[in-house]
Homo-oligomer: A and B are copies of this chain.
Amino acid sequence: MTETLDQLDQIGMLRILTPDHWEMIKPCFKSTQTVCSKAVVNPRRVRLDHSLLLLDGIIGRRVPSETDQTPHLVALQVPGDFIDLHAYPLKKLDHDVVAITQVTVAMIRHDDLSKLLDNNCALMRQLWSMTLVDGAIHRHWALRNGTMRALQRVANLLVELATRLEQAKPAPDGRFRLELTQPDIGSACGLSGVHVNRVLRDLREAGCCTYKNGILTILDRKQLNRIACFDPSYLYLPERSGPSGF
């Protein structure tokens, strides 16, 4: 499997790393792994000795709900995200890490990470930054669930995911394979599955986007952004060319 590791590219959140730092950490990923949809990648409350880099697919973080049975989605990760990097300093997670789609991940052992970081504080600071952007996204999820109404909430979530996914892989056709069920979307933004269905119909009838078979197709990005009141500054996107918030 190591042949794929050499081809690893600096996609999405990984672009926070400087190229030389990326070259340093890349060899530490010793193996990749493919996990099938719906599997629990890392369970909560268990001591972890490794962290995962998401290469392909979508991963979610679930917290079992205190009130009812169905767990709640508190975060979604896209390719380029350093999943459960926070397990490196914290050692245990407070949520389950589950595969939404079939995913491929690269593993890094905390031992190897320590060897690397103990001699390189600059790299550590950049990894730290990556978890801080995660934190900013978490704050935005609280904001979204706290202030927005259903239509805006769903639109906002979809635009966020589209924007983050584009950082990993450009999608000129505006199509994104999310594979989230409608109740999943509801779980992520605090709505019932039924209501998500109605909201998606409204977005479809407004000509904004369609969502079918787990595939999001954005038809009118401008209008969708407007409905979503989307301001991407909380994503701290690295500047490619031109101004950005980072």
Give chain A's interface residues, CB within 8 Å of chain B: 45, 61, 63, 65-67, 72, 74-75, 86, 89-90, 92, 94-95, 117-118, 121, 124-126, 128-129, 131-136, 138-148, 152, 187-190, 229, 231, 233-234, 236, 245
Residues of B within 8 A of A134 (CB): 135
Q: A67 touches which one: B63, B133, B147 (CB < 8 A)?
A: B147
Chain B residues in 8 Å Cβ range of A152: 67
Do B139 and A67 touch across chains, with their CB atoms under 8 A apart? no
Q: What 8 A-B pairs come out closest when comparing CB atoms?
A: A146-B190, A66-B229, A138-B138, A145-B145, A141-B142, A135-B135, A89-B129, A142-B142
Contact A94 B236 (CB under 8 A): yes
How many copies of this protein are present in the complex? Answer: 2
Q: Is the interface of A mostly helix, strand, loop or mixed?
A: helix
Contact, CB under 8 Å: A143 / B89: no
**Nearest CB of chain B from residue A183's CB, rounded to whole Å:** 13
A63 neighbours in B (Cβ, 8 Å): 139, 143
- A142: chain B residues within 8 A (beta carbon): 74-75, 138, 141-142, 144-145
**Distance, CA A214 to CA B74, complexed state (A):** 30
Given A90-B132, A95-B139, A139-B61, does the pair A67, B229 have CB atoms closer than 8 Å? yes
